[in-house]
Amino acid sequence: MTPKDLVLTPRGLRFRGHTFTCSVGRTGLTRNKHEGDGATPRGTHRIVGCLYRPDRTARPCDWAVPIRPGDLWSDDPADEDYNLMVRAPYPHSHETLRRPDPLYDLILITDWNWPRAVRGAGSAIFLHQWRKRRHPTDGCIALRRDHLAWIAANIRYRTRLIVP
**pLDDT value at 23 more than 90:** yes
pTM of the model: 0.96
Burial class (CB in 10 A: 0-12, 13-18, 19+), 81: middle
Return the domain boundaries, the chain: 6-163
Burial class (CB in 10 A: 0-12, 13-18, 19+), 92: middle
Q: Which pLDDT score is estimated for 130?
A: 97
Mean pLDDT to the nearest integer, 35-59: 97
Q: Which pLDDT score is estimated for 3?
A: 84
Q: Which pLDDT score is estimated for 164?
A: 97
Alpha carbon distance 111, 47 (integer Å): 6
**pLDDT value at 41 more than 90:** yes
Mean pLDDT to the nearest integer, 131-151: 97
Q: Which pLDDT score is estimated for 102?
A: 98
**pLDDT value at 103 more than 90:** yes
Residue scoring higher pLDDT (129 or 2): 129
For the segment(s) 6-163, the CATH number from 1.10.730, 2.60.40, 2.40.440, 2.60.120 is: 2.40.440
Q: Which pLDDT score is estimated for 124?
A: 93
**pLDDT value at 2 more than 90:** no
Please give the mean pLDDT across all residues of the chain: 97
Alpha carbon distance 68, 87 (integer Å): 9
Mean pLDDT to the nearest integer, 133-162: 96
**pLDDT value at 157 more than 90:** no
Q: Which pLDDT score is estimated for 1?
A: 86
Alpha carbon distance 51, 49 (integer Å): 7
